């Protein structure tokens, strides 16, 4: 999700944002994956009074087993005025690594755009936003549809349900199967959630061109795979099958690694894991879940790692999280 903030200047009218905070359960593909919190707090007693405010957005998400199963934490903190407009640079912490995003005058942090849009007079209008991921400025626009808002953000369309205190009751991104549902008891799952999440894409897989900024994998080159184990392996998930097949390849003295990304399973695009084996013709994908050797396309590899390479697995987790539930096959 792009984010939430506080306040906006629309048509010359300064709109104050509600102070407080809210905790949300984060779901991807119907599976709880963690929690997120939005807070907006100011100095001074009156909403109309000039003062300094801080908007914070914090999340903690459990990665699927295919991406290592670890937890990822992110915190965004931005100084804003009572209308939510930036007063200085944004501080971002992601898994303990910090960076500073320069201020864009007049913009609202995208991580808080829904809160600002809910405060627009009549619920309709647009505001300038700064996306914390890319550092690019854009526009967020909302229109009232019954009791909900339909929101267009750079790269995403959302459905936002309000609550009496002015904070969103829920935010859904239908095309990405992502939901943020208000839940004060939301927690990090103890076990990794399943990765098998459907991904929106063209009905004809031959029209697939990009996923999360990545082109489709190249068609496999000619390679001798007859001497490799059959493309079958035991396991309760594609991740377990990919690891088991890789272990079988390793026992023959040849190299194998796990690939994670999006593939077409015959009915549509889905997050998936498969194996890549090293041959005289280079690395070739083999899919033990689909029984394909070589694996057929289209598929988009987001990350690769050897099972015993912890650093590579952690990097794979970061890459999967950057795309998981946030992109559609174009």
Last residue of a domain, one of 129, 148, 182: 182
Does some domain include residue 115? yes
Output 283 or 281, whichever has higher pLDDT: 283
Confidence of residue 249 (pLDDT cuts 50, 70, 90): very high
The predicted pLDDT at position 129 comes to 92
Q: Identify whether 187 is part of a domain.
A: no
How much is the pLDDT for 198? 82
- Answer with the residue of higher pLDDT: 325 or 253: 253
Asked whether the predicted pLDDT for residue 158 surpasses 60, the reply is yes
Q: Does residue 96 have a pLDDT over 50?
A: yes
Residues 27, 169, single domain; the answer is yes
User: What mean pLDDT do residues 216-225 have?
Assistant: 85
pLDDT value for 196:
67
Residue 165, pLDDT score: 94
Asked whether the predicted pLDDT for residue 293 surpasses 70, the reply is: yes
Please report the pLDDT score of residue 30 as a whole number. 84
Mean pLDDT of the 312-325 span: 79
CA dist., res. 197 & res. 154, Å (int): 23
Please list, residue by residue across 275-299, b when 16 or more beta carbons sit within 10 angstroms of its beta carbon and e when fewer do: bbbebeeebbbbbbbbebbbbbbbb
Please check whether residues 17 and 165 belong to one and the same domain. yes
Q: Which domain holds residue 277?
A: 198-323
Residue ending a domain, among 135, 150, 182, is 182
Show which of 148, 182, 216 is a domain's final residue: 182
Considering the domain architecture, whether residues 162 and 54 belong to the same structural domain is answered as: yes
> Are 169 and 204 part of one and the same domain?
no
CB contact at 8 A, 255 and 213: no
Choose between 74 and 174: higher pLDDT. 74
Residue 325 is predicted with a pLDDT of: 64
How many domains does the chain fold into? 2
Ranges 14-23, 135-144, 233-242: which has the least confidence: 14-23
CA pair distance 263, 43, nearest whole angstrom: 50
> Is 193 inside a domain boundary?
no
**Domain-located, residue 329:** no
- Domain assignment present for residue 106? The answer is yes
Q: Are residues 15 and 71 in the same domain?
A: yes
Are 263 and 170 found together in one domain?
Answer: no
79, part of any domain: yes
Of the candidate ranges 79-88, 133-142, 164-173, 310-319, the one whose mean pLDDT is the lowest: 310-319
Q: Looking at the structure, tell me whether residues 114 and 169 fall in a common domain.
A: yes
**Choice between 7 and 251, residue whose per-residue pLDDT is larger:** 251
Residue range 57-73: mean pLDDT, rounded: 84
pLDDT tens-digit series, residues 183-192:
999 999 998 8
Residue 274 pLDDT exceeds 50:
yes
Looking at the fold, whether 29 and 167 belong to one and the same domain comes out as yes
- Is 168 contained in some domain? yes
Within this chain, do residues 317 and 216 fall inside the same structural domain, yes or no?
A: yes
To 10 degrees, the CA torsion angle through 90, 120, 125, 8? -30
Q: How confident is the model over 239-258, as a mean pLDDT?
A: 93
pLDDT score of 214: 94
Confidence check: pLDDT of 326 > 70: no
Instruction: Looking at the structure, tell me whether residues 79 and 216 fall in a common domain.
Output: no
The whole-number pLDDT of residue 10 equals: 35
330 within a domain of the structure (yes/no): no
289 and 205 within one domain = yes
Q: Would you say residue 11 has pLDDT above 90?
A: no
Query: Do both 237 and 305 map to the same domain?
Result: yes
Query: Can you read off the two tokens belonging to residue 159?
Result: 């459905």
What is the average pLDDT value for the chain, to the nearest integer? 86
**Cβ neighbours for 213, distance < 8 A, ≥ 6 positions apart:** 327
Q: What is the pLDDT confidence band of residue 51, given thresholds at 50, 70 and 90?
A: low
pTM over 0.85: no
Separation between Cα atoms, residue 189 and residue 319, nearest integer Å: 20
């Amino acid at each position: 999700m792009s984010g939430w903030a506080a306040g906006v200047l629309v048509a010359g009218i300064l709109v104050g944002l509600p102070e407080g905070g809210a905790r949300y359960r984060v779901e991807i593909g119907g599976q709880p994956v963690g929690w997120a919190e939005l807070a907006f707090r100011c100095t001074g007693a009156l909403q109309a009074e000039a003062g300094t405010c801080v908007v914070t957005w914090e999340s903690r998400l459990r990665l699927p087993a295919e991406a290592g199963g670890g937890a990822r934490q992110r915190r965004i903190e931005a100084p804003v005025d009572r209308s939510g407009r930036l007063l200085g640079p944004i501080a971002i912490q992601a898994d303990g690594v910090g960076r500073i995003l320069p201020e864009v005058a007049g913009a609202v942090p995208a991580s808080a755009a829904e809160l600002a849009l809910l405060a627009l007079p009549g619920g309709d209008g647009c505001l300038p936003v700064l996306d914390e991921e890319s550092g690019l400025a854009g526009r967020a626009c909302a229109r009232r549809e019954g009791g909900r808002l339909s929101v267009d953000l750079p790269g995403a369309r959302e459905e936002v349900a309000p609550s009496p205190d002015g904070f969103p009751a829920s935010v859904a991104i239908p095309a990405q199967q992502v939901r943020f549902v208000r839940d004060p008891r939301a927690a990090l799952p103890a076990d990794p959630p399943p990765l098998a999440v459907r991904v929106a894409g063209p009905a004809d897989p031959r029209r697939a061109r990009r996923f999360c900024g990545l082109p489709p994998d190249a068609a496999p080159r000619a390679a001798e795979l007859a001497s490799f184990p059959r493309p079958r392996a035991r396991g309760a998930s594609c991740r377990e099958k990919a690891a088991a097949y890789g272990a079988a390849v390793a026992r023959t003295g040849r190299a194998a690694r796990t690939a994670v990304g999006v593939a077409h399973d015959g009915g549509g695009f889905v997050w998936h894991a498969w194996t890549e084996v090293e041959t005289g013709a280079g690395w070739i994908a083999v899919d033990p879940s689909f029984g394909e050797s070589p694996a057929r396309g289209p598929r988009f590899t987001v990350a690769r790692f050897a099972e015993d390479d912890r650093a590579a697995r952690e990097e794979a987790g970061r890459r999967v999280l950057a795309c998981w539930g946030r992109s559609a096959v174009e």
